[in-house]
Amino acid sequence: MKVGLNSNLDMLKFKNLAKEREKAIDSSFIDPIKYEYKVNKLVEVFHPKKIRVVVDKIKQETIDTKTFILKSKDKEELPPFKAGQYIVLDVKLNQVVYKRPYSISSSIKDTTKYEITIKRVRNGLISNYMLNEVKEGMEFIIHGPFGEFNYQPLRDKENILALVGGSGITPIMSMARSIKDKALDCNLTILYGEKSEKELIFKKELDELNKNCDQISVNYVLSEEESNIYETGLIDKSLIMKYDIGAYSYFVCGPTMFYHHLNNIFKELDIPNKYIRHDFYKNEEPMLKHEEHYLTVITDDKEIKIPCYEDETLMEAMEKNGIEAPQKCLIGVCGFCRSKLINGKVKTDVDYVRVSDKNHNYIHPCVSYPLSDVTIKLCK
């Protein structure tokens, strides 16, 4: 065979490839190397490793709910975020750093501050600390913003029906405020379920939005109080069916039970997954025994053995014992706490583990409860 590139200098040409390359390097310049572009600098803006913030102001919202207005200690502005995203707050208590995810409740238009709104949880270590001890001027480290509980026009209907249980109102509040500020463009109907009227967070502002903003409408559903003005009972199938169910994307935010309850209704109503977005938080322990097991954690070439009860997650046990494990969302979704189960048995209800991780025994400790003595290896 012969290729019609006629040349007797083939060998030379071939050998010269390296020489020519050397020559090209010779004639290149010695200026400093450019290793950073605008996008690299914007990474720092959008995804800083951590942010130092100051509690600029504290607002009492209800008898056991407060809003904390956080401002950056070092910069004018905090990272831009999408309505519905959360930050992780580091709370140092008794030499242990507790990490807690909180949805941002303020508008995306104003990034000079993030507002987080925290409700007291009975016996909740962190919520009680936040409500009782934290004063204006105190400093914290936060991480984020993170999360995918956002309006996405390429996917969602332009009409959102937000189904809210209790303090699940916070990310929805961010959406509502952003719509009012014309920074977000969709129609938002909120069904806000709470025990009683006085426990409704942001009630005054929501009433105003309901009255003055064409794109927002708000309805309260009170579960433990009779009312002539508001809906009463639970957010249930008959209530949802009052709406044109095919016209909405559903944004569900509330405690785990609320989320399961609504999922059953969606199934009955045949609402496609595509139109259901959810964010949730754990507010009650699952029905498990308070039996004691031992958890061995392999990290940084050390093995640490700690007690771990059957009704607490591996993450909670590590946290109590001062073991710093990677964590973010605490509901099993983000995968940041991904760890290898070396031995033992765990129970989990939430399943966002990758296929091959599952095959290789990786778990998300933030939603894993021990059923026996357990050994895990942290990925850090």
Partner 1 sequence: MNYDAIVIGAGNGGLISALRLQKMGKKVLLLDAFNMPGGVATSFVRGRFEFEVSLHELCQYGTKENKGTVKKLFEQLGVDDKIEMVPLNETFHVLTLDDKLEYTFPIGINEFTTKMEEYVPKCRESIEKLFKLCEECEEALKYLEEHKEIDEKELKEKYPNFLVVSSYSVDKVFKALKIPKKAQEILASYWVYLGSPMSELSFVHYMMMVYSYIKNQPAIPRGRSHEISLVLLEEFEKLGGNYKFLSPVTEIIVSDNKAKGVVVNNEQKYYAKVVISNISPNVTYGKLIKQSELPKRAKQLVNARTLGARGVCVYLGLNKSVEELGLKNYSYFIYHTLNSDKEFERMKHLKGDNLVGVVLNNALNDASSKGTTILYLTSLMFSDVFDEVVTKENYFDLKNALAENMIEIFEQATGKNIRDAIEEIEIATPLTFAHYTNHPDGVIYGYMAKKLDNLLPRMMNMQNEDYIKGLFFAGGFGPRLSGYSSTYLSGDMAAKKALNYLKEEEK
Contact residues for partner 1, defined by CB under 8 A: 1-5, 7, 10-11, 13-14, 16-18, 20-22, 24-40, 42-43, 45-47, 80, 82, 148, 152-155, 272-274, 301, 326, 335-336, 338, 352-357, 359-360, 379-380
Which is nearer to partner 1, 131 or 315 (by Cβ)?
Answer: 315
Nearest to 185 by CA among 206, 210, 164, 160: 160
- Name residue 295's beta-bridge partners: 306, 374
Helix (H) or strand (E) holding 69: strand 65-72
Please give the DSSP secondary-structure letter assigned to residue 133.
H
- Name residue 343's beta-bridge partners: 375
Contact 98, 75 (CB under 8 A): no
In angstroms, give the least distance from the CB of 90 to partner 1. 15
Which is nearer to partner 1, 46 or 181 (by Cβ)?
Answer: 46
Which is nearer to partner 1, 47 or 195 (by Cβ)?
Answer: 47
- Pick left, alpha or beta for residue 95 (phi over 0 → left; psi -120 to 50 → alpha; otherwise beta): left
Residue ranges of alpha helices (H) inside 96-215 are 125-133, 169-180, 203-212
* One-character DSSP codes across 67-130: EEEEEESSSS-PPP--TT-EEEEEEEETTEEEEEEEEB-S-TT-TT-EEEEEE--TT-HHHHHH
Contact 318, 306 (CB under 8 A): yes
Return the ∠ at Cα 319 (arms to 167 and 311), rounded to 5°: 70
Place of tokens 């977000």: 184
Contact 350, 328 (CB under 8 A): no
In angstroms, give the least distance from the CB of 38 to partner 1. 5
Which is nearer to partner 1, 48 or 255 (by Cβ)?
Answer: 48
In angstroms, give the least distance from the CB of 260 to partner 1. 16
Which is nearer to partner 1, 284 or 349 (by Cβ)?
Answer: 349
In angstroms, give the least distance from the CB of 84 to partner 1. 12
In angstroms, give the least distance from the CB of 132 to partner 1. 33
In angstroms, give the least distance from the CB of 35 to partner 1. 4
Which is nearer to partner 1, 87 or 130 (by Cβ)?
Answer: 87
Which is nearer to partner 1, 7 or 132 (by Cβ)?
Answer: 7
- Tell me the C-alpha distance between 82 and 56, whole Å: 22
In angstroms, give the least distance from the CB of 280 to partner 1. 14
Which is nearer to partner 1, 114 or 202 (by Cβ)?
Answer: 114
In angstroms, give the least distance from the CB of 81 to partner 1. 9
Return the ∠ at Cα 136 (arms to 123 and 179), rounded to 5°: 85
